[in-house]
Amino acid sequence: MTENQNAAGIPQTPAAKPTPPVQPPAPKPPSRLGRTLRRVLVWAVGLEVIFALGVAAAWFAQILPKAGEIQQLRTDLAAAQTELQGLRPLVAENQALTVDLAQALRQQAVVDVLVDVTSAQAAIALENPSGARLALGGTDNRLQALSTLLDAPDAQERVSAMRGRLTQILAELDRDAFAAQNDLEVLANDLAVLRQEAGGQ
């Protein structure tokens, strides 16, 4: 056996001298631009983290509590809508009652004037012109109030004609009771027609 053979007789190759490990070259120091970009990147990441923390804080401090308020408002809105649905029939009923009240007020105003005229007719029939004048004392004001209650297009003209007839009746009471009685009859007929119309308006 030779020096270059091992016990099994396999020739051995001389051991190579171990080579020292290759060391990487030393890194170059970063350039000024690289350092600046690195700083900007660190600041940008820091600002993004702060912004994210601010958004999270705003969410928990403002938006999350408002969600409960929004839910309460939705509940209140639903309750109000339910109540409104219950009130709608009352609105229609109220409108109908308002129309009925206006009609009743018109009829009452006509009846008030008709009572004055009928009282004056009775006084003239009893040959009491001063009693007739007394009965007609507030009739002009009642006719004026009646004109504001009537909705018919010619109501103002008709009431104005009645007021003119009333003035004529008051002038005739002392000198011609017969003419006053006839004018009172015409006025009473006009009022009866107006009363029928007032009931239908």
Taking only the tens place, the pLDDT of each residue in 103-148 is 888 888 888 989 999 999 999 899 888 898 899 889 889 888 888 8
Residue 37 lies in a domain: no
CB 196 within 8 A of CB 126: no
24-83 per-position pLDDT tens digit: 777 777 788 888 888 888 899 999 999 999 888 888 888 777 878 888 889 998 998 888
Report H helices in 59-176: 64-125, 129-135, 139-149, 155-172
Residue 139 lies in a domain: yes
Residue 68 lies in a domain: no
Q: Domain tally for the chain? A: 1
Residue 69 lies in a domain: no
Residue 48 lies in a domain: no
Residue 72 lies in a domain: no
Residue 55 lies in a domain: no
Distance, CA of 53 to chain centre: 42
Residue 70 lies in a domain: no
Alpha-carbon span 50 to 38, nearest angstrom: 18
H or E segment to which residue 33 belongs: helix 32-58
In the numeric block, the tokens 């009743």 are attached to: 104
Residue 130's domain comprises 95-200
CB 107 within 8 A of CB 198: yes
> Model-level pTM greater than 0.75?
no
201 pLDDT band, cuts 50/70/90, is: very low
CATH code, domain carrying 169: 1.20.120
